[in-house]
Amino acid sequence: MFDIVPRAQVPSTLPALIWQQLLLIGPVLLYSMVAHEYAHGWAALKQGDATAYSLGRLTWNPISHIDPFMTLLLPIMLAVAGAPILGGAKPIPVNPGNFRNLRRGDIIVSLAGVTANFLIALACIPLAILFGWLGSAFPAAVVPLAILQRMAIMGIFLNMVLVVFNLLPIPPLDGSHVFKYLLPPSLARQYTRLAGAGILVLLACMYFVPGFGTVIIGPARFVQSFAERLYLPFMLPNPLT
């Protein structure tokens, strides 16, 4: 899985970037990636493939899902360069040959990750409300609750970005595993070979395709604007200002 944080969500100065990512974006994005990969492994297990389970990858421990380059080095390099942050977790190992039904299993496993991110985005809405209500009820705890509230709000936006981004029909993103079944078999085989150059294709789209960022961020902003109507009455003061 690849993940992206749009440029608009990244502070302009490096100290602010490090502070905000560590406190807000970092933990939210990390566990959103863990949930995404765990969902892939869990769905694969239910479809007959126990590869991830047998290798100890079906776990919520984030260390098992961290890839030194994709999870750590690449996002930091892009952040320092002021570019959109692209990264990813270590992919869950899946053997489609173990699925009881190859086509159905591949589609279900591919969509499991984005389904997990969508459910997290929805769950973050009542969490933001709850943290706001608790902060008003218990003023002594308002600072940590305000931080948690902003993490929940960030969780809405980030997880919706991950949903839309991973549904793009660009190999090896999850959407490509569904799109390939709409193609003739010979063309589908050539299409899946693009997976090796997927990160280059994604970076090229980000920089050279007009409106590419809007396609990804637009639906996330729509859901965020809907959620704002629900949590804004419970907003706590920003503890970072």
Please say if 228 is a catalytic residue.
no
Which residues are CB-neighbours of 192 under 8 A, at least 6 positions away?
171, 176, 180
Q: What's the mean pLDDT in 206-215?
A: 84
- For the chain, the first-to-last Cα distance in angstroms comes to 34
CA distance 241 to 218: 27
Residue 37 has pLDDT above 80, yes or no: yes
| pLDDT at residue 9, as a whole number | 46
Other C-beta atoms lying within 10 Å of the C-beta of residue 237: 10
Domain limits, the chain: 2-234
Which of 8 and 149 is assigned the larger pLDDT? Answer: 149
Q: Three-class SS string for 48-102? A: CCCHHHHCCCCCCCHHHHCCHHHHHHHHHHHHHCCCCEEEECCCCCCCHHHCCCH
Q: What is the mean pLDDT of residues 141-160?
A: 94
**pLDDT value of residue 82:** 64
Q: Give the separation between CA 115 and CA 161, rounded to whole angstroms.
A: 12
Helix (H, G, I), strand (E, B) or coil at 222: helix
When pLDDT is averaged across residues 103-115 and rounded to a whole number, the result is: 96
Residue of 83 and 46 predicted with greater confidence = 46
What is the Cα–Cα distance from 211 to 67, expressed in whole angstroms? 30
DSSP letters along 178-212, please?
HHGGGS-HHHHHHHHGGGGGHHHHHHHHHHHSTTH
Note whether 145 and 134 are within 8 A (CB): yes
Q: Rounded CA gap, 64 and 62, in Å?
A: 5
| Mean pLDDT value of segment 7-17 | 48
- Residue 2 is predicted with a pLDDT of 56
Contact yes or no for 92/41 (Cβ under 8 A): yes
Q: What is the pLDDT of residues 164-177, one digit of tens each?
A: 999 999 998 999 99
More confident residue, 211 or 148: 148
The β-bridge partners of 87 are: 3
Q: Is the pLDDT confidence value at 83 over 70?
A: no
Least confident of 10-24, 88-102, 120-134: 10-24
Query: pTM to 2 decimals?
Result: 0.86
Of the residues 37, 49, 106, 174, only one is catalytic, namely 37
Query: Predicted confidence band at 11 (pLDDT cuts at 50, 70, 90)?
Result: very low
Among 2, 9, 136, 121, which residue's Cα sits nearest to residue 71?
2
Predicted local distance difference test score (pLDDT) of residue 85: 62
How far apart CA 241 and CA 237 sit, in angstroms, is: 9
Mean pLDDT of 68-93: 74
Q: What local confidence, expressed as pLDDT, does residue 206 receive? A: 78
